[in-house]
A and B are shown apart, each in its own frame.
Chain A
Amino acid sequence: MIEQDASQGAPDLSQLSETDLEQAVLLLIKGLRAAGAAAGLAGDELDESVARTLAFLRRRISGDYTIDEFGYDADFTEHVAMPLLRPLYRSWFRVEVRGIENIPAEGGGLVVANHSGTIAVDSVMTQLAVHDETPGRRSLRMLGADLVFGSPVVGPVARKTGSTLATSADAQRLLDEGHLVGVWPEGFKGVGKLYKDRYRLQRFGRGGFVAAALRAEVPIIPCSIVGAEEMAPMLANAAPLARLLGIPYFPITATFPWLGPLGLVPLPSKWLIEFGTPIRTDDRGEGAADDPAVVFEISDRVRETIQHTLYDLLRDRRSVFF
């Protein structure tokens, strides 16, 4: 008797869970269709986007995607991260890109940019600018601080979207493999500076990025970003609090921490991103990467170029918000 019950019960159970699953999927499809319709899609376009989303979800749930050795997950970056950031890029900051033709169409290159804005949104905006404006839709691989990769949630997302640790080993490897690499040599000194120091470039460190470019013989593309400084003006730095929390700085802005999480919403400043003329590094001969004189000369040149372009862009800009 018991055996029979069990053998009859088993198929029933599996049928039940299958219909439940089917219903859940149908509900999900309905939800997606409604969301798509609300976003102004119709007909074939709607069907297609629903199908794409379902295919994406299937890949994520079954683990059927590929990451590279640095942890870069192209599927996630192009289908989740970039669509989420695009409204910020297009409607909020209204990013205007200049000199995109200076990004090499293929092969390695090192994009060196100024860092600002209290929270480092400028790096992802640059990544989006490179991806959306270059004909080949190139992905920019970014170098970040070790603090990023040790942090929960932020660390894995950074790796998935193409960041890796700012060490010469990783930079070298990416450039040798023909990737386009983005570096913000000012680091936390740049993002964590006060509003009164806006658009004043901080120290560029020892020029490790220049040495990496020299070894890989790839061009350096100076990149100047205007607008990020005004999105969350940092009025003061609560240094003791930062030390207590083990972070490089603790920003006090007009809205943060006073309004809590709402204070993290950036101001809608108008952004300009200009990619400058590439600086060649393949004509310096053997051993140039180990010659501090050459490294500092190029590092200074990149820094000067970015600083002057920033002044030019600021003169061009009509107002902070338009």
Chain B
Amino acid sequence: MDEGSRPKVVLVTGVARELAGRVVRRLADDPSIDRVLGVDLVPPKHPMGRGEYVRADVRSPLLARLITQARVDTVVHMGVIATPRDAGGRVVQKDINVLGTMQLMAACQKSAGVRRVVVKSTAGVYGSSPKDPAVFTEEMTAKRLPRSGFPHDSMEAESYVRGLSRRRPDIGITMLRMANVIGPSISTVLTDYFRMPVLPVPFGQQGRLQFLHEDDAVAAAVHATTGPVAGTVNIAGDGALSLGQAIALSRRPWVPVLPGAAGLSLWATKQLGWAALPSDHMDFLSFGRVIDTQRMRKELGFAPAYTSRGAFESFLAARSAHDRPEQQPMEDVT
């Protein structure tokens, strides 16, 4: 790769959160990068190494000034939020995801210095339905598009990224459509689900689930920042698990949920304080999705360290280590 396109000043959004924070740390370790700026509304609790925290809202026009003043050449947008809980409610979540991406892409478009943009998106944009092909490549769109929640936010966010690529073809854009990220430290809808004491399972359905280990998610974002520009790329661990297999591996009891009672079961898990699952969660468990990762290997040149199953087992190992003290409260007394 030629020296001109190597990132010198990188701006990362959403750094108060686990994955983005780790991306900042990894980029700060790279001596060829002069400055790494981490932007978020809340200061990160984790160390960022050489990375500098800047308190700013991605939704504000202030960001465009920051990009110009700091001579940012590479923007890594990790500030999309998958669960309403992390954002402080669904309205705020949608605001940050959609308006945040819109403002950030507008800032990139106006800036003369930005050469490269990396955006974290989700395989959720492909939806989950029985009417779609078994394996999605990047060119495909779902027959039944996601109508609400985080997948819908991501579709709108992606449209702003496409808008930028049309208006500024000179900027190299890599958009990572990640499979469900899972691992020992990350908390998502799916980790909340598999941490519940009893798992509600759609009756007679077994979706195909594909996972991406959190370490691989970080490595993929770092690779996309410093490696080749690849456009829209699916990112996932090899192989897939069926829902039944995942439940067997998780060794949790489960109850079948009849069609039509999905809403009731989600309400019940929320009332019990177990997990706040989105309305499309049962569809995801029923039909799942698998994404094709040939472009990830060939054009991005990235190979994940964990398979889908390996990533899931890594999460399970951490879960049981975490659960043990709760299950034996008597030991604390003696």
Contact = CB atoms under 8 A, between A and B. Distances in A.
**A and B interact physically:** yes
Contacts of B140: 169
A63 B204 contact: no
Contacts of B148: none
B135 A173 contact: yes
Given A60-B248, A169-B133, A173-B133, 8 more contacts: A63-B241, A65-B245, A68-B240, A71-B208, A150-B130, A152-B205, A159-B208, A165-B133
Q: Give me the 5 closest cross-chain CB pairs, A-B, nearest first.
A: A152-B204, A63-B248, A153-B204, A149-B130, A150-B130
Interface string B225-258: 0000000000000011110111111000000000
A296 interface: no
B246 to A, nearest CB: 7
Contact of A70 (B129, B131, B135, B137): B135
A146 interface: yes
B248 A61 contact: yes
A155 interface: yes
B134 A170 contact: yes
A247 to B, nearest CB: 15
B130 A155 contact: yes
B334 interface: yes
Contact of B239 (A7, A66, A150): A66
Contacts of A61: 248
A61 B250 CA distance: 11
A224 to B, nearest CB: 28
Given A61-B248, A71-B208, A152 B131 contact: no
21 contacts: A7-B330, A62-B249, A63-B241, A65-B245, A67-B245, A69-B134, A69-B239, A70-B135, A149-B287, A152-B204, A152-B259, A153-B204, A155-B204, A155-B205, A156-B204, A156-B244, A159-B208, A160-B206, A160-B242, A164-B134, A169-B137
B272 interface: no
Contacts of A164: 134
Interface in B44-88: none
Contacts of B137: 169
| A interface: dominant SS | helix
B333 interface: yes
Interface size class of A (residues with CB under 8 A): 20 to 34
Contacts of B133: 165, 167, 169-170, 173
Contacts of B333: 3
A244 interface: no
A55 interface: no
Contacts of A3: 330, 333-334
Contacts of A152: 202-205, 259
A63 B130 contact: no
B134 A165 contact: yes
Nearest to A65: B245
Contacts of B130: 146, 149-150, 155, 165
B290 interface: yes
The interface centre, meaning the residue of A7, A68, A152, A153 with most chain B CB atoms within 10 A of its CB, is A152
B138 interface: no
A150 B131 contact: yes
B132 interface: yes
A293 interface: no
B134 A63 contact: no
Contacts of B129: 150
A13 to B, nearest CB: 12
* Residue from B134, B140, B244, B247 whose CB has the most chain A CB atoms within 10 Å: B134
Given A63-B248, A67-B240, A165 B204 contact: no
A186 interface: no
Contacts of A60: 248
Given A61-B248, A63-B246, A152-B205, A146 B131 contact: yes
A68 B208 CA distance: 9
B81 to A, nearest CB: 29
Interface in A130-150: 146, 149-150
Interface string B203-218: 1111010000000000
B131 A69 contact: no
